Amino acid sequence: MIRKTSKELYAAYRESMRKIADIRYASAVLQWDQETYLPPKGAAIRGQQISTLSEMAHQLFTEEKQGALLQELRMREDLTDKEKKNISLSWEDYEKQKKIPSAFVRELSDAVNKSFHSWILARKENGFAKFSPELAHLVALKKKEAEYLGYAEHPYDALLDEFDKGSTVNKLNKVFGDIRTPLKTLLDKIMAKPQVDDSFLRQHFPRDKQWAFGLDILRRLGYDMEAGRQDISEHPFTINFNSNDVRVTTRIDENDFGAMTWSCIHEAGHALYEQGLPEEEYGLPCGEAASLTIHESQSRLWENHIGRSEAFCSFQFPLLQQYFPEQFGGLSAAELYKGINKVQPSLIRTEADELTYHFHVMIRFDIEKALIEGSLHAVDIPAFWNEQYARYLNIEAPDDKRGCLQDIHWSHGSFGYFPTYSLGSFCAAQLFDAARQSVPSLETGLDTGHYQPLLQWLRDNLHRQGRHYNSNELMINITGKEPGIDNFYQYLLDKYKNIYNF
């Protein structure tokens, strides 16, 4: 018997992983269509199609021969560092996925499909009761998934780990505990000052002009339209099928300019990351994003540190007036900057300012934690939601659509995702400070609408690393320290002292 070389074994591994990726991304195309163009009557069969592909991918990845191949490659010493890392991460994924039966993967996929369409209907009818039964079933399945995966302390830990390896309830309790009081103190200080005017954002903005403006901004930020496209969906999202096919969606409110504009920039951040992943690593761990925390660091960096900056407002203001001369003709760039950074407790997370945004995230974290541990039930969410919004932001949702039905995440079964928005924001501030120190021409470039130096720095230091490093390792490598709240809090202080004069 001729023993195969490491090169031959690695080639077999790469081929099998890419075959599995082909199936997963084929399923992702169906999911993209489901949320953009699928006719209502196609929902049931579409769910079946997605479930079949999900089960097939899981079965292929957890086959005994795949495990044997990975085990053999783990013992080979003549692989490159990147090859060793791919094998190590794939083995870690294999051991985790091996714990979950393929039948359960299909059951969960079926439940997600039903839950998603139930959520769509509930939003149309503005009633959480239409969504609650499917959500309760999904929560039960996510609890079961946590048991399959295993955990040391809290069942929610198993789900958090799927979005950011090493994330736990205890760690998040500490992070949110450390930032909650400083944010509340800063919010109270700002609320005591004269409020800035943002009424110019709530005029009539024709749908077609908003659409064209959004596409223009995407291109200016560096989003490659030859490797992507934008569509409309109920909830904005980014989805990728490979680094040369990364798609974004947005939603348009003709009476609220902010609803589309900063969601476009947010999704652009996600898409720029995916377009920057190494094409040659398609299907392999080093061709995937490091974590959802790092993914959100990219969207929050572009949305806030760029899209809500003085430099962006100043340079892009003539473009804004070109598209909307009647609405912004009598406005100044300085007024635009202050208005889009207005701090005010509000209902919708995706439209919240950079300070109160994190109370939205903390509330969702508390709800998810309670659902998974069993101290809260799906049917009780609306009441608990309003109680927490009154506590943290002193507001109450007038209806479910603007309250507990506003996010798509639970209908997707994405329990554990929400904390990454805050963690990503903290990392974004840390990364942006590191970029400014590393690239002397960065500030000048941003002042003149040149975003390529920042994008290139992110590509070199972060995007091309794929999943080679976890969140902590990546942040240490790039910024010299572990992720923390200090850079973010200082960023808020500097911004709002300037806007609110305190």
pLDDT of residue 428 exceeding 90 = yes
* Fold (CATH) for 169-500: Neurolysin; domain 3 (1.10.1370)
Query: What confidence tens digit (pLDDT) does each residue in 256-268 have?
Result: 999 999 999 999 9
Lookup: tokens for 6: 């490491």
| Catalytic sites, residue numbers | 267
Please determine whether the domains at 6-150 and 169-500 fall in the same fold group of CATH.
no
Number of H helices, E strands in the chain: 21, 3
For 435, counting Cβ atoms within 10 Å of its Cβ (0-12 exposed, 13-18 middle, 19+ buried), the class is buried
In this structure, the number of other CB atoms found within 10 A of the CB of residue 206 comes to 13
- What per-residue confidence (pLDDT) applies to 5? 96
Task: Return d(Cα 450, Cα 148) in angstroms, integer.
Answer: 48
Lookup: tokens for 364: 């969702």
Task: Return d(Cα 233, Cα 144) in angstroms, integer.
Answer: 30
Q: Are 268 and 302 in contact (CB under 8 A)?
A: yes
Q: Are 402 and 389 in contact (CB under 8 A)?
A: no
Query: What confidence tens digit (pLDDT) does each residue in 402-414 have?
Result: 999 999 999 999 9
- What per-residue confidence (pLDDT) applies to 3? 82
Residue ranges of domains in the chain: 6-150, 169-500
C-alpha distances out from residue 299 to 114, 223, 429, Å: 29, 13, 12
Q: Are 268 and 223 in contact (CB under 8 A)?
A: yes
Task: Return d(Cα 84, Cα 462) in angstroms, integer.
Answer: 19
In this structure, the number of other CB atoms found within 10 A of the CB of residue 433 comes to 17
Task: Return d(Cα 110, Cα 207) in angstroms, integer.
Answer: 35
Q: What b/e string do you get for 167-187 counting C-beta neighbours within 10 Å, with b at 16 or more?
A: bbbeebeebbeebeeebeebb
Q: Read off the pLDDT of each residue in 41-59 and give the average, rounded to a whole number.
A: 95
**pLDDT averaged over every residue in the chain:** 97
Query: What confidence tens digit (pLDDT) does each residue in 286-333 have?
Result: 999 999 999 999 999 999 999 999 999 999 999 999 999 999 999 999
Q: Which residue has the higher pLDDT, 1 or 381?
A: 381
Q: Pairing mode, if any, of strands 238-242 and 245-250?
A: antiparallel
Class of domain 6-150: mainly alpha
- What per-residue confidence (pLDDT) applies to 1? 53
Mapped onto helix, strand or coil, the DSSP state of residue 240 is strand
Query: What confidence tens digit (pLDDT) does each residue in 166-218 have?
Result: 999 999 999 999 999 999 999 999 999 999 999 999 999 999 999 999 999 99
Q: Which among 20, 27, 35, 159 is positioned nearest to 106, based on CA atoms?
A: 27
pLDDT of residue 461 exceeding 90 = yes
Task: Return d(Cα 286, Cα 283) in angstroms, integer.
Answer: 8
Mapped onto helix, strand or coil, the DSSP state of residue 361 is helix
Task: Return d(Cα 181, Cα 190) in angstroms, integer.
Answer: 14
C-alpha distances out from residue 417 to 203, 297, 413, Å: 33, 13, 9
Residue type, 165: K
Q: Read off the pLDDT of each residue in 1-29 and give the average, rounded to a whole number.
A: 94
In the chain, % of residues over pLDDT 70:
100
DSSP states along 166-223: T--HHHHHHHHHHHHHHHHHHHHHHHTSPPPP-GGGSS---HHHHHHHHHHHHHHHT-
Q: Are 178 and 485 in contact (CB under 8 A)?
A: yes
pLDDT of residue 241 exceeding 80 = yes
Q: Which long-range contacts (CB under 8 A, 24 or more apart) does 432-436 make?
A: 432/301, 432/305, 432/487, 432/491, 433/479, 433/487, 433/491, 434/478, 434/479, 434/480
Task: Return d(Cα 471, Cα 294) in angstroms, integer.
Answer: 6
